[in-house]
Amino acid sequence: MNLRSLTGIKPTGMPHIGNWLGAIKPALELTKTYDALYFIADYHALTITPAPEAMKNDTYSVAATWLALGLDPEKAVFYKQSDIPQVFELCWLLNCFTPKGFLNRAHGYKDKLAKNKELKKDPDEGINMGFYSYPVLMAADILLFSADVVPVGHDQKQHLEFARDFATRVNNFYQVDLFKLPEPRITENSQTVVGLDGRKMSKSYDNTIPLFCTEKQLKKITNRIITNSQDVEEAKDPDKSSVFLLHKIFLDDAQAEDVKKIYTAGGMGWGKAKSMLFETLNEQLKNPREEYNRLVADTVYLDEVLKKGAEKARAIAGPFLEKARKIIGVAS
Ligand code: TRP
């Protein structure tokens, strides 16, 4: 049997090229050598209670994105978290082994507390229990399927540590080997993607390039990348330019060298640099974009794919949870 790779993606708007390079691409790579379980973490998105329409549309958008970028639903198990009731039962079991103080130290919660303090609000204002226990639900997602590796961004490292800790507590308390300890597979550091303003590309900075938009929008967005005010004639330093740093990610070494020469030779304005980037990006996104547009309009197909995936996932989750129920003594 192959090792298992598992990851979850929250349905919160159109994924951007940072998500693609940092999370989606490495996860797709793992499907070649691992049994992959990739899911849409819709109940995690509910902790920030998006409107029902947004929940629906963003779920389809994430599903279509993964499929358009090459996820094969026959090979990987691709499902919606909310379709797997066992996740939520296991979540309760884990809750009962989670020291409250642990969750007090979770980064997401601490950030919210700090923000409230800054704004001189009640420390817990706007924090619901779903948000507070977010890491427990995430541990349930992972432990239910005995994942070996979990491809995630650097920001999820603490969540993985929590999952390992909860698993160990349960295993030790019942003196069993029920839960496998998952390994994080952190990909983000190897290739941090710069955003339009030169900071890390992130939705929270509002500096992203969406993966799938029209050609026209892509052109407009790439034109918004911030540059210095050097004249056309001046030689430019590629390694200090967000335009080049972005461009380079999509080029092989030889191509990157060629583009570098154009920068250092002088005589190239920023408009030209941006349009070279646009051409490369557009070339690589053209086919998946068409596929995305076709898929996102076919919600009947997407529903069918996710339904089949959920059946496969439940076939793993059901027997596993039964084992857990026996161990804790609620089933015999
Ligand atoms: N918390 C993850 C994020 O925000 C999403 C997620 C939910 C997840 N459950 C998971 C990731 C399980 C990996 C494994 O990106």
CA distances from 303 to 61, 298, 307 (A): 12, 9, 6
Lining ligand 1 with CB less than 6 A are 6-8, 10, 41, 44, 138, 141-142, 150, 152, 156, 159
Distance 40 CA to ligand 1 centre (A): 9
Instruction: Give me the residues paired with residue 184 across strands.
Output: 150
Distance 76 CA to ligand 1 centre (A): 17
Residue type, position 112, single letter: K
- Tell me the average pLDDT across 278-295: 97
pTM exceeds 0.85:
yes
d(CA 89, CA 69): 33
- Tell me the average pLDDT across 136-155: 95
Distance 120 CA to ligand 1 centre (A): 30
pLDDT value, residue 204: 83
pLDDT value, residue 180: 98
266: left (phi over 0), alpha (psi -120 to 50) or beta: left
Distance 29 CA to ligand 1 centre (A): 18
pLDDT value, residue 145: 98
Q: Count other Cβ atoms within 10 Å, centred on residue 174.
A: 13
pLDDT value, residue 190: 54
Confidence of residue 22 (pLDDT cuts 50, 70, 90): confident
Instruction: Give the side-chain half-sphere CA count within 13 A for 225.
Output: 28
Distance 287 CA to ligand 1 centre (A): 28
Q: Which atom of ligand 1 is nearest to the CA of 44?
A: 7
Instruction: Note whether 39 and 78 are within 8 A (CB).
Output: yes
pLDDT value, residue 188: 58
List, in order, residues 6 or more apart from 130 with CB less than 8 Å away.
Answer: 43, 46, 47, 137
How far is Cα of residue 139 from the mean position of the Cα atoms in its chain?
16
Can you read off the two tokens belonging to residue 112?
């919210």
For ligand 1, atom 14, which residue shows the shortest CA distance? 7
For ligand 1, atom 6, which residue shows the shortest CA distance? 8
d(CA 317, CA 77): 12
Q: Could you report the per-residue pLDDT of 146-200, keeping only the tens digit for each?
A: 999 999 988 899 999 999 999 999 999 999 999 999 999 987 555 678 999 999 8
Distance 18 CA to ligand 1 centre (A): 16
Q: Which domains does the chain have, with CATH numbers?
A: 4-98+133-192+298-328 (3.40.50.620), 212-292 (1.10.240.10)
Distance 160 CA to ligand 1 centre (A): 9
Residue 202: pLDDT over 90: no
Confidence of residue 203 (pLDDT cuts 50, 70, 90): confident
Helix and strand counts by DSSP (H, E) for the chain: 15, 5
Instruction: Give me the residues paired with residue 38 across strands.
Output: 7, 78
Instruction: Note whether 211 and 61 are within 8 A (CB).
Output: no
- Tell me the average pLDDT across 263-275: 96
pLDDT value, residue 301: 98
State the Rg of the chain over Cα.
22
Q: Could you report the per-residue pLDDT of 294-317, keeping only the tens digit for each?
A: 999 999 999 999 999 999 999 999
Q: Which candidate, 162, 121, 115, places its Cα nearest to that of 143?
A: 162
**Dihedral Cα 95, 96, 101, 105, nearest 10 deg:** -20
Strand order in the sheet with 183-186: 77-80, 35-40, 4-9, 149-152, 183-186
Mutate which of 94, 155, 156 for ligand 1? The one with the most ligand atoms within 8 Å of its CB, which is 156
Can you read off the two tokens belonging to residue 53?
């329409």
Mutate which of 19, 24, 44 for ligand 1? The one with the most ligand atoms within 8 Å of its CB, which is 44
Distance 153 CA to ligand 1 centre (A): 9
Q: Could you report the per-residue pLDDT of 27-80, keeping only the tens digit for each?
A: 999 999 999 999 999 999 999 988 999 999 999 999 999 999 999 999 999 999
Mutate which of 10, 34, 59, 203 for ligand 1? The one with the most ligand atoms within 8 Å of its CB, which is 10
Give, in degrees to the nearest 5, the angle at Cα 72 between 71 and 77.
90
pLDDT value, residue 192: 77
Residue 274: pLDDT over 90: yes
Share of the chain above pLDDT 90, in %: 90
3-state SS, residue 156: helix
Q: Could you report the per-residue pLDDT of 69-109, keeping only the tens digit for each?
A: 999 999 999 999 999 999 999 999 999 999 999 999 999 99
Instruction: Note whether 317 and 87 are within 8 A (CB).
Output: yes
pLDDT value, residue 13: 83
